[in-house]
Amino acid sequence: MTHDHDLVLRPTEAQTAAALAPPPGRTGGDLVVETLRSLGATTVFGLPGQHALGLFDAVGRSDLRLVGLRTENNAAFAADAYGRLTGEAVPLLLSTGPGALMALPALAEAAAASAPVLAVSSQVPTPGLGGGRRGHLHELRDQSASFREVVKSVHTARTPSQIPSVIAEAWESALTTPHGPVWVEIPEDVLRAETFVPQVTGMDATPHELAPRPELTALAAHWLSKAARPVIVAGGGVVRADAAGKLKQLAERLNAPVVTTFGGKGAFPWTHPLSLQSWLEDRHTTDFLEDADVLLVVGSGLGELSSNYHTFFPTGRVIQIEADLGKLESNHPALGIHADARLALQALLETVPVREDPDAPERVRSLLAAVAARLATQDVALEQQLLTSIRAALPPRSPSFWDMTILAYWAWSAFDPKHPNTMHSAQGAGGLGYAFPAALGAALAEPDTPVLAVSGDGGAMYSVAELATARQHDLDVTWLIVDDGGYGILREYMTSAFSRATGTELTRPDFVALAESFGVPAATTTPETLRDDLKKSLATPGPSVLVLPATLRMFAPTHL
């Protein structure tokens, strides 16, 4: 006996075939978009180019939000910041050859900072692959070779059916600890080719966890529990792993002072009684770290800046927790624990007993007082005043992005970020032009929060085109440009080393008039009015520019 509801529930073969048949006119570009959407992407950055038109056409027919900046390098900086703030893999869509290569410096920064950027680039048509030199526009002998030593992994799709798996594999790589940029190439003809592959709806990419080996954390816990003068160095890995809370718990349990690296700003509360803050370029801090009988380094390779230009030589035991295998024991012998910072800190919290040390806060106060006394002998009141004004004007939860400029170099050591993952700079790879486009990416990631960008006039010239982007998308970014008429930090370095500077003096525009020509409100500020002017700009929705004419100087180095 057949019931009516059975007839309704069982589709005919024709109905099944119709349901499985893909919509007509879909291409390889649609497979890219469908895969990205299936993996969770909502926003993509990039610029169209001739070989990538099939991809951008598919984006235009989708619900993805496309944010087009004015240069590929700036688009990659924006994607980098979006990834840093959200922890998500961020698609960056590029075209072949010059367009792809333009993004290389920004991808180097993303690699240094462990930002999960998923770069998807077109390639010359399939017959031109393999270095055959067929003379295609934008042809390179091996495009991926230009990126292979910069990004975390390289992936290529040579047919439409390979696209979903290749994108998912790259996505998983970008989000597996340590996060990082990845590179995907798809030839133009593959992006344009019609496909009968069904719509991509069930893609999944599961990043691998990087858990510590228990015998290593057990030994580390033993050393820390028996230490007389333990100290913790917290790097960017703590921020990337969202492990600031666990770091604080461990430091308080051990009564261990904590210094944060420049990439780890915000990993530990600035005003905590155990906070050594970030004065890593001060010999007082270097001596303090050398005096530790057990030094716990979490999420840092103790590179050039974090080691006071390689003048730091530990005298006690070193425990290094690091997700990037290449950084493990790269500068100092250590008990190396290859692990995600969050998982390793959790393992230590489960085994380390409470350690009493009533003198630890006093030792911290003495160190910070010594740093302050050293600065008091130098003529650096202006620089300190500017940072105080910025901190007072900037809302505590607002992200700030700093270019490679003197005020940023000060901020690495002296600026209180208030919260984890709110202060970012290009100190990983050290390229100019990062701050403003990165701030635009942050404004897209956190649309209800005002964002600050800080540049010098030299670095600002790398990014002025993005005033158009800021206006087009009405992004809530205030751009502070410190105008000293040149590459100020290079001027100072060269004068110190060679008694004169070469190539550092610049003709620059009237930044106020330039910003206003884009329809972006702009004004000149002074050290005395900066706090109020900046507070007003940050409180006003939309983009704005403040120009501060000032010649700044660095505090005296202690590593020479």
Residue 171 corresponds to which amino acid? W
pLDDT digits over 225-257, tens only? 999 999 999 999 999 999 999 999 999 999 999
Nearest Cα neighbor of 316 from 334, 328, 300 is 334
pLDDT at 13: 63
Q: Taking 90 as the threshold, does the pLDDT of residue 216 lie above it?
A: yes
* Other Cβ atoms closer than 10 A to 429: 17
| Percent of the chain residues topping a pLDDT of 90 | 87
Q: Are strands 117-123 and 65-67 parallel, antiparallel or unpaired?
A: unpaired
pLDDT at 493: 87
* Helix, strand and coil percent figures for the chain, each rounded to 5: 40, 15, 45
What would the mean pLDDT of 538-543 be, rounded to a whole number?
A: 98
pLDDT at 8: 44
pLDDT digits over 486-529, tens only? 998 899 888 989 999 999 999 999 999 999 999 999 999 999 99
Long-range CB pairs of 355-359 (<8 Å, 24+ gap) are 355/224, 355/225, 355/227, 355/230, 355/253, 355/254, 355/255, 355/256, 356/255, 357/254, 357/255, 357/256, 358/255
pLDDT digits over 248-304, tens only? 999 999 999 999 999 999 999 999 999 999 999 999 999 999 999 999 999 999 999
* Other Cβ atoms closer than 10 A to 560: 8
Can you point out the beta strands (E) in 331-384?
Answer: 335-338
Q: Taking 70 as the threshold, does the pLDDT of residue 209 lie above it?
A: yes
What would the mean pLDDT of 146-152 be, rounded to a whole number?
A: 96
